[in-house]
A = this chain, B = another copy of it.
Amino acid sequence: MDQPEKKDSPNKIKYLIGVMSGKGGVGKSTVTYLTALALRQKGYRVGILDADITGASIPRIMHLPRYDMKVSGDFICPVETEQGLKVMSISFLVDNEEQPVIWRGPLLSRAIQQFWGEVLWGELDFLVIDMPPGTSDVAITVMQSLPLKGFIYVSTPQNLVSVVVARSMQMAERLEVPALGLVENMSYFICPHCGQKTYFYGQDETEKLARQFGAELIVRIPISLDLARLPSEGLKPESPDVAEVLEKLGTFLINKLIIS
């Protein structure tokens, strides 16, 4: 069922990976951005496909202003950021970002197909897909029809969240999309006033999930003000929290996909 690029396509994408969870609001878009940037910082050519059509967040997370999209022949040109990332999101195609995309499933699936096949990605080492929550149309279409190398899963250490993430991991197993690894987000909070650590939830939920599906826990990301305020204040790559996450994500993926 995979649809590789057509023979006359200008797109050559080596590694297509998705950032998945099943659950909403766990930080998929943030992890997508950090993953793409981590690979870019290692010298690779990287794109981001925002597959969350009805809940697009990538342009806000990445602080991308409004763009006039350009067209080249039959292809839409993705936005190119200062960091050298190519990005496509439905938000670039609507009049204003508060405009809802009120589409039933078939239209969502069609949009995903277009973002894959009719966007001028060119030659990329990595294309990272920001998946929407749920296990319905978009998830089905991406897993069934795109040549994915695997998913990075994002979870938080709450049993409620682990259960929903486990559902999406079961779905991917059934559709034979490998689990590359897991990211635990919102692991704990360090009070900026007293420096003490608070765990909001449990501490071993994500490890259990990793064991259950034979996937590695790549990194634990604390609730850091630098990351929480990413959409309003922009990325601070020099922040120790951010730098550590970038290093771990980049190293993990290169070892997993390229070196091994």
Contacts and interface: CB of A to CB of B under 8 A. Distances in A.
Interface of A: 22-26, 53-55, 57, 60-61, 97-106, 108, 132-137, 139-140, 158-160, 163-164, 166-168, 170-171, 174, 189, 191-194, 196, 198, 200-202, 223, 225, 228-229, 231-232
Dominant secondary structure of chain A at its interface with chain B: loop
A105 B137 CA distance: 7
Tallying the copies of this chain within the complex gives 2
Contacts of A136: 53-54, 102-105, 108, 136-137
Contacts of A60: 159-160, 163
9 contacts: A54-B135, A54-B167, A55-B134, A55-B164, A100-B174, A105-B136, A158-B231, A160-B232, A191-B193
A230 to B, nearest CB: 8
Nearest to A170: B100
Contact of A194 (B55, B99, B170, B193): B193
A151 to B, nearest CB: 13
A95 B196 CA distance: 42
A166 B23 CA distance: 20
Q: A136, A167, A171 — which one has the most chain B CB atoms within 10 A of its CB?
A: A136
Nearest to A25: B25
B135 A98 contact: no
